[in-house]
Amino acid sequence: MIPVTKKIAGRFELADRFTYIEGDLNTVDFGKNHTIATLGHILHSEGADQSKALIQKTFNALAPGGQIAIAEFVCNDNRSGPPNAAIFAVNMLVNTDKGDTFTLPEISKWLSDAGFAHVRTLEAPGPSPLILATKPA
């Protein structure tokens, strides 16, 4: 993914604004004092416990005032839809050990428990809104 990301950032003349960290999410050092971190369609494959740990690890890597942006298929509160998120949940249950899709309240709680504040959504092109939160200053 990193070569593709670098290519896209270069196309928009933004490559010098990013730091890229390669490695396994569970073992790589995320560094410190980043202004923004993205988790793009990652939580669904990791399961609830690992997703919580990943959100905490991301919080620890951000500078005060830093932002996290999460893109995910998000189920409604009673997990009955929307159809793309519900079908994707079945896909994760069949093809991963612990994967699933989650609700906005679940992800919001994980963010708050990690120390994030001002959890909110931003409508974006795609199957779900972005979930944003801020590390307090």
Catalytic residue list: 44
**Distance between CA 40 and CA 92 in Å, rounded?**
16
C-beta separation of 70 from 131 below 8 A:
yes
Terminal alpha carbon distance of the chain: 31
C-beta separation of 34 from 62 below 8 A:
yes
